[in-house]
Chain A
Amino acid sequence: MKAAVLVFPGSNCDRDLVVAFEAAGADVTMVWHKETSLPDGIDIVGVPGGFSYGDYLRCGAIAANSPITRDLKAHAERGGYVLGICNGFQVLTETGLLPGALLRNAGLKYICKTVPLKVQTSDSIFTEGYNAGDVVGFPIAHHDGNYYADDETLAQLEGENRIAFTYEDNPNGSRGDIAGILSHNRRVLGMMPHPERAADIGHGGTDGAALFRACVGALTPA
């Protein structure tokens, strides 16, 4: 099973994401943003956290128009899998692959701590290693993680069971306590919390490892 992790200027969770995918058994290639196409045969693309392009203009806005991002969109439109974490989630909303947007945290502060999340659905390759209703601890580290979508979009996300994770104790003002959402075909997951930072015993928690094990397992031929 082959994974690609995109690297933008200012990405800083790219290596962590590679380690988490590799620990789950994936063959991972890092892809610089100036490349115009993903390597052949990629099953899943990871869009990592960080501060791509210094968060200039809007978080994720410049990365959403990087050369590699055009092929990322093509990959998703072909039914390919994508996992966007933190800044990666912001990039996915800016590209339109996921609905809504991430605003400045309601408390205006950058927040870095491990928070409890509720798994809302196990119906995706990312979340099938959990049961709906499970509470897991993932670190958050963001200044702009306040999920916003209009009422109609929120109702659609709920109606289609596309809310993957919610905050148990909303840290940033996100509408509907939303921490992560799935695309219409359930193959694109964007989330602000960092499962790759809770994937090894040395991280102080391993709740995130199940996410990588599940998606690598689902995409590895039996």
Chain B
Amino acid sequence: MKARVHVMLKKGVLDPQGEAVRHALGALGFEGVNGVRQGKVIELDLAEGATEATVKEMCEKLLANTVIESYAIEMG
């Protein structure tokens, strides 16, 4: 089974990469882009029966740094 983990910088933590992307979109003529936040997606291929609780533990211990990042888990 698959799980997908979305990791984003927390609200309030400056995202300089997202800001650079926002400026670049503006330079390309895309107007009205008020904000860009850049994160990452981690796909996990797990043995059958893996639980969301286990994936949450993986996030807490390694996949996200909860000092600066938040995460969301999609199972299946």
Instruction: Point out residues on A near B: beta carbons under 8 Å.
Output: 57-58, 61, 65, 93-94, 99-101, 103-108, 146, 148-149, 173
Chain B: number of interface residues, binned into ranges? 10 to 19
Q: For the complex formed, measure the closest distance between the CB of A35 and the CB atoms of chain B, giving whole angstroms.
A: 21
Contact B62 A173 (CB under 8 A): no
Please tell me which stretch of B11-19, B27-35, B43-51 contacts chain A, meaning at least 4 of its Cβ atoms lie within 8 angstroms of it.
B11-19
User: Among B9, B16, B62, B67, which residue has its beta carbon within 8 angstroms of that of A106?
Assistant: B16
Partner of A94, one of B13, B16, B17, B65: B65
CA distance A148 to B16 in the complex (A): 13
Give the residues in chain A near B20, CB-CB below 8 Å.
108
Give CA–CA (A68, B9) in the complex, Å: 29
| With A148-B13, A148-B67, A149-B67 already in contact, 12 other A-B pairs whose C-beta atoms are closer than 8 Å | A61-B62, A65-B61, A94-B65, A100-B67, A103-B16, A103-B68, A105-B16, A108-B20, A146-B14, A146-B16, A148-B68, A173-B16
**Bound CA span A3–B32, Å:** 56
Question: What is the CA–CA distance of A149 and B14 in the complex, to the nearest angstrom?
Answer: 12
Residue in A101, A105, A107, A173 whose beta carbon sits within 8 Å of that of B68 in the complex: A101
* Residue from B17, B61, B65 within 8 A of A101 (CB atoms): B65
Query: When chains A and B are docked, how far (Å) is the Cα of A129 from the Cα of B40?
Result: 43
Q: Least Cβ distance of B36 to chain A in Å?
A: 13
Complex CA distance for A100 and B67, rounded to whole angstroms: 6
Bound: A105/B20 CA distance, A: 12
22 intermolecular pairs with C-beta atoms under 8 Å apart = A57-B62, A61-B62, A61-B65, A65-B61, A65-B62, A93-B67, A94-B65, A99-B67, A101-B65, A101-B68, A103-B9, A103-B14, A103-B16, A104-B17, A105-B16, A108-B16, A146-B16, A148-B14, A148-B67, A148-B68, A173-B14, A173-B16
Assess the B63–A57 pair: CB atoms within 8 A. yes
Interface residue ranges of B23-76 to A (CB < 8 Å):
61-63, 65, 67-68
Bound-complex Cα distance A103 to B20 (A) = 15
Sorted nearest first, the 5 A-B pairs with minimum C-beta distance are A101-B67, A101-B68, A106-B16, A108-B16, A104-B16
Inside 8 A of B17's CB, which chain A residues have their CB?
A: 104, 108
A192 to B47, CA, bound (A): 40
Q: Determine how close the nearest CB of chain B comes to the CB of A63; give it in whole angstroms.
A: 12
CA A173 to CA B19, docked complex, whole Å: 14
Residues of B within 8 A of A148 (CB): 13-14, 67-68
Residues on B with C-beta less than 8 A from A105 are: 16
Give CA–CA (A149, B9) in the complex, Å.
13
Contact A107 B16 (CB under 8 A): yes
